[in-house]
Amino acid sequence: DAKTTQPPSMDCAEGRAANLPCNHSTISGNEYVYWYRQIHSQGPQYIIHGLKNNETNEMASLIITEDRKSSTLILPHATLRDTAVYYCIGRGLSGTYKYIFGTGTRLKVLA
């Protein structure tokens, strides 16, 4: 599974877009990029995942660079409830499916 690197913390004003970067320069061709978030004292929540194309769902957008060495999770209109730790994980769709969590980015949305 690819090693990922994320900034430890970020602030974002409420209503503005939150752009969370992730570096995964060692990702292999068949490894997907998954994003999860963890709100304080809760289990992680799935957000989105992608392989090489940009993805969008009701929660967020995922932009993956053409060389796949990095990606950005975009929360288009951040709210106070989006304050959480966001984890970027690289893994394949075969094998044991175990997810290894890095340190994540602690996003604080400010009123």
Partner 1 sequence: GAVVSQHPSWVICKSGTSVKIECRSLDFQATTMFWYRQFPKQSLMLMATSNEGSKATYEQGVEKDKFLINHASLTLSTLTVTSAHPEDSSFYICSARGLAGGGELFFGEGSRLTVL
Strands (E), 1-111: 9-13, 18-23, 31-38, 45-50, 55-56, 61-64, 70-75, 84-92, 105-110
Structure tokens at 21: 């970067």
- Out of 20, 33, 44, 109, name the contact with partner 1 by CB under 8 A: 44
The single residue listed with the structure tokens 């009123």 is 111
- Out of 2, 24, 34, 88, name the contact with partner 1 by CB under 8 A: 34
Rule CB under 8 A: is residue 32 a binding residue for partner 1? yes
Distance between CA atoms of residues 54 and 1, nearest Å = 21
Rule CB under 8 A: is residue 91 a binding residue for partner 1? yes
Nearest CA among 29, 39, 64, 66 for reference residue 74: 64
Residues 92-111 close enough to bind partner 1 by CB under 8 A: 93, 96-104
In the complex with partner 1, the residue whose CB is nearer, 17 or 100, is 100
Rule CB under 8 A: is residue 43 a binding residue for partner 1? yes
Name the site residues for partner 1 (rule: CB under 8 A): 32, 34, 36, 38, 41-46, 49, 87, 91, 93, 96-104
